[in-house]
Structure 1
Amino acid sequence: MGRRRVFQTGSSLTHVLPFSYNFREDGSLTGLRDQGVLEAAIAQNAAPLLVITNFRNRKFDSDLAATLLRNKELQDKMITNMLAVIKEKGYRGVNFDFEYVYPADRENYNEFLRRVVERFRPEGYLVSTALAPKVRANQQGLLYEAHDYKTQGEIVDFVILMTYEWGWAGGKPLAISPVNSMRRVIDFAVTQIPRDKIVIGVSLYGRDWKIPWQSGTYARTISPQEAVRLAKRYKVGIQYNETYEAPFFFYTDQTGQKREVWFEDARSVQAKYDLVKEYRLRGVSYWDLTYPFPQNWAVLRSNFQTNKL
């Protein structure tokens, strides 16, 4: 599926980031079946970036990140292994998606990025990071504290702000990428990071929740097309929240269960592209390409010309 999606959308993409390679405690990397995606990316002249995460046992692992960030010898081994994969497979750089890093490792993370840049930049490879959506420098929480906007903005070539998942599958029904929340993150980010290094995250999917929502339940992730089909099937009107800049609707399924759907449409992605133009940012990053959303690509082309490396 990944290969097909990249063939379908790659003409509109500058980079493709297959998700993901993970690192082990010895500095080696886990494998990824990425050959088809890489072939599609190269055919579409979309530069692939190697995504590295601190993922272990199906979750982001704070201890795994600490093991790496507190050991320079281990970092050197991992950087060497990353370069080997990049050269073997034709990647054009790296993106680090380190999440739930201990606050004590904030400067260790910055220093690790400096070491990566020192090895990568002379060879012409890009270095980028994914950052949690912060609204202030001293924002509390394990997701946020080790992500140093100002310093990472100085070190790396660009950052991706993870401005999505407010409406996450395990949470209450809500727009996934509400524009008012995105704006608060951008307002802070532009005070810390050069605008031409800021990429904002955009979701390309929707979610379908049971209501009344109960803790411990999970929404179904759906494509925008499926959302529209649901509204048509159950003969309900699609509404639009002007604050979140997102469409939504309610329906009752065939079992009598009431449900609430939030998704993206041409209006909501246009609102996000307007943010890019208003704040003069580098661009957008899509999470993820799994769910078809043809309208997005038409709206994108009407707003921007895609840069190709």
Structure 2
Amino acid sequence: MIHQLLRLAKENNLDGINLDFENVYEEDGEWFTQFVRELTPRAHNQGLVISVDITFISNSNQWSEFYERAELAEAADFLIVMAYDQHWATSPQAGSVASLQWVEQNLQELLEVVPNEHLLLGIPLYTRLWEENNGEVSSTALTMEEAERWVKEKGLTLELAGSTGQEYVQATIDGTTYKMWLENETSLGKRIGLMEKYKLAGIASWSIYFADQEAWEFINEQLYKK
């Protein structure tokens, strides 16, 4: 696998490789760490940077506990914390994908085991449109452009939603209540602010297809402002 990754990186003139291993049994976590230990020096010989995606710390063994975060921070160049989903696609309760308060609390805990200079903050570039009807809750993932279009089509006004650090809309239409916590310049600016506050190595994002051109320009301005 290492050989194939390095070959593909060379053929495609890549700058590095990002490893996103999820749903791993807790007892196999040490073997994932060893894989990274063996990949990184060979990648460095090829001029590549190695980053590893991790989750916030939780008691879910296949989602969180298999990551040996301190050891992975030593083995790779960077760790990227996937700072989402606080409320996931099938969550029984509507809510933000990643409220600022939730992100910061979990980030503080993570920084007790991962050095800030090795950590990148993963930020979501999508939101969920929640529907509540007769006690049933469902959601649809939207890109930034799709979310903005939906708000305009419904003629709604954005409001700042307290500790989430995000703009929020809610409307009841034909008996169905819609809720959405938006990802836009407001939330992006505050997420980058967390990166700066804790002196992290940078940010990462999921996914490139979810952001519009204005968002990329804003991110660039915030990261490289004088």
Q: Could you tell me the TM-score, scaled by structure 1's length?
A: 0.67
Distance 1:245 1:140, change over 3 A: same
CA distance in 2, matches of 1:169, 1:260: 14
Query: Matches of 2:181 and 2:90 in 1, distance apart?
Result: 14
Distance 1:149 1:228, change over 3 A: same
Cα displacement string for residues 209-254 of structure 1 (whole angstroms, at most 9, x for unaligned residues): 1114636x4x12223333333333323332221211112211234x
* Equivalent position of 2:191 in the other structure: 272
Structure 1: where are the runs of 5+ without partners? 1-77
- Figure out how many residues of one structure are paired with residues of the other and give that number: 223
Instruction: Give SS of 1:143's match.
Output: helix
3-state SS, counterpart of residue 210 of structure 2? coil
Distance 2:35 2:150 in 1: 47
Alignment of 1:223-238 (within 5 A): 223-238=143-158
Taking only the aligned residue pairs, the percentage that are identical comes to: 22
SS at match of 2:88: coil
| Matching residue of 1:297 | 216
Query: Which residue does the alignment assign to 1:55?
Result: none
List per-residue Cα deviations over 1:15-70 (Å, max 9, x = no partner): xxxxxxxxxxxxxxxxxxxxxxxxxxxxxxxxxxxxxxxxxxxxxxxxxxxxxxxx
Q: CA deviation at 1:153?
A: 0.6
Q: Which amino acid aligns with 2:47?
A: G
Contact 1:173 1:262 (C-alpha < 8 Å) held by counterparts: no
CA 1:195/1:222 → structure 2, altered by over 3 Å: closer, same or farther? same
Pairwise CA distance, 1:116? 0.9
Residue 154 of structure 1 is matched in structure 2 by: 74
**289-298 or 91-100, which moves further after superposition?**
289-298
TM-score, normalised to structure 2's length?
A: 0.89
Within the candidate set 91, 111, 132, 1:211 is matched to 132
Where in structure 2 are the equivalents of 1:178-193 lying within 5 Å? 178-193=99-114
Contact residue 208 and residue 220 of structure 1 kept, 8 A = yes
| Inter-CA distance 119–298: structure 2 relative to 1 (3 Å threshold) | closer
RMSD (CA atoms): 2.1
Q: Give the CA deviation at 1:295.
A: 4.0
Against the structure 1 CA distance between its residues 209 and 112, is the aligned structure 2 distance closer, same or farther, given a 3 Å change threshold? Answer: same
Match of 2:98 among 170, 177, 183: 177
Letter in 2 for 1:149: R
Q: Which runs of 5+ in 2 are unaligned?
A: none
Match of 1:112 in 2: 35
After superposing on structure 2, the runs of 4+ consecutive aligned residues of structure 1 that deviate more than 4 Å are none
2:115 match: 194
| 1:87 to partner: Cα distance | 1.6
